[in-house]
Structures are given as C-alpha cells and as structure tokens.
Amino acid sequence: MQKIFLTLLIFSACIFNGNAQKKKANPYNLPITATIQEYQGECVKNGQNTLIDIQKVIPGIQLDIRYATANNFTGRQVYSFPNAFLRKPAADSLVAVQKELASMGLGLKIFDAYRPYTATLLFHEIVKDTLFAASPATGSRHNRGCSVDVSLVDLKTGAELAMPTEYDNFTAKAGARYPDLQLTVLQNRDLLIRVMDKHGFKVMPSEWWHFDFNGWQSFSLMDLSAEELVVK
C-alpha cells in the first residue's frame, strides 16, 4: 500500500515538474514555497499552514476576484481561477467576522485573498511604487495567505455599501483614516475596520479594503497558482 502511495507521489511530482513548475522567477532569492510538494510538506508539519478555500467555510460569500478578470488596474486577467484562499487561522477569523456582520444584516465581499508571488512581481512591474503595490524584494502579505481585500455588502440585496473609493483606487482618499467623507461612508468604512480588527485583522493605512492577519510573519511566502492549489 505504502509503495503504491509512493509511486503515485513520484508520478504526480513528475507531472508538476514537467508542467506547472515552469521555472518561477525569484529575482531576490526569497525563501518561497513554490512547489506543491513543499507546500504539502509544510501542511503536514503544521496544519495551520493549510490554505482554506473561503467559499467552502463561508458558503454563499460574495466573491469579486478582480484579478481573475480583466477588470483590474493591470487591464488583464492575472489569475486563472477566481478562488479566495487564506491560511487556516485567518480563514477561521474571517468566518467569525462574517458571523458578526450577519447579525447586522451585512456580509463581506472579497476582492482578493492569497496571491501568488508571480502576481506581486507583475504588479510591481506595472505600478513601480511600493505604497500601493508590495515590494517584490520582501513579498506581499497576500503571498503568505494572510491578507484579504474586502468590502461590506447588504446580505439581503447583495449590494455593496457606500465606501470611500472603488477597489484599487490609488489615491489619498483610499486611506483608512481619510477624514473628508460623507457620514454614512465614514461609518461604513469604520464599521468594516472595527469588526475586522476585533477578529485579528489590521487595516493597511493606505488602503481601506486591505487587511493583514495578526501573526502573518510566521507564514511563508508562496508562489502556487490557484489552479495548482485546486487540482492538487
């Protein structure tokens, strides 16, 4: 039995070596988990490393994964699958956020969650700025499966609540403490920030929609596509 398992493991390793593993760029020589085998090894060592598909733990959650469409600042489709993954403890906390919001008739809408390092390299190439796109020299917390880009929706209508800006608006108005806003907009933004913070997510000062999970430092940078994660 063990022998069969081993043969299967080697066989699937060969498939990935010949296919998905087309030399991923790592110009800064960062410690990056870039193969499904490395990732699975990390999960065996510590189950907290597992990337959870958010739709599986929050059924019906609204996803608007912009990078899986051309409707994003790059103008092209970056992801082949529109999934939202987060590491296990971050996913658990997001479940708690959704539960608390539901008691107010509200819910989350996700724009992005785990992001492969390859995408961070691409974004930096386009934006050439580290305020709105993470530096590829350090990698993004999205690459660690610990960041999530979200907004609030009305659970009944599905409509997004009024927020200061559109997603990926690279201006001062996107700041988490930008003061010159209509009262309702301010209240909506601050409610999102307060509930996320209560469950372990800190807002990024320059982007009201971006949240980092406390303890992100203990998770590795990753460069596996959603496609590789889905078919693993």
Closest of 27, 39, 221 to residue 141, by C-alpha = 221
Give the CA count within 13 Å in the CB-facing half-sphere of 45: 8
Q: What angle do CA 11, 117, 177 make, to 5 degrees?
A: 145
Q: How far is the CB of 210 from Zn ion (least distance, A)?
A: 4
Contacts of 92 (CB under 8 A, 6+ apart): 57
Which span (17-25, 54-62, 180-188, 206-214) binds Zn ion, by CB under 5 A? 206-214
64 counts as binding Zn ion under rule CB under 5 A: no
Q: Is 149 in the site for Zn ion (CB under 5 A)?
A: yes
What φ, ψ does residue 209 adopt, rounded to 5°? -90, -10
Part in contact with Zn ion (CB under 5 A); list of ranges 126-134, 156-164, 169-177, 205-213: 205-213
For Zn ion, the closer of residues 39 and 211 by Cβ is 211
> Which CB atom, from 39 or from 123, has the smaller least distance to Zn ion?
123
Under rule CB under 5 A, residue 210 binds Zn ion: yes
Interface with Zn ion: number of residues (CB under 5 A): 2
Contact between 115 and Zn ion (CB under 5 A)? no
Determine if 168 is a binding residue for Zn ion (CB under 5 A): no
Nearest to 167 by CA among 209, 202, 113, 130: 209
Residue with tokens 């971050």: 90
Question: Which CB sits closer to Zn ion, 153 or 203?
Answer: 203
Of the ranges 65-73, 141-149, 159-167, 179-187, which one interacts with Zn ion (CB under 5 A)?
A: 141-149
C-beta separation of 36 from 16 below 8 A: yes
- Three-state DSSP class for 146? coil
Beta carbon nearer to Zn ion, 52 or 203: 203
228 touches Zn ion by CB under 5 A: no
Residues lying near Zn ion in the complex (CB under 5 A) are found at 149, 210
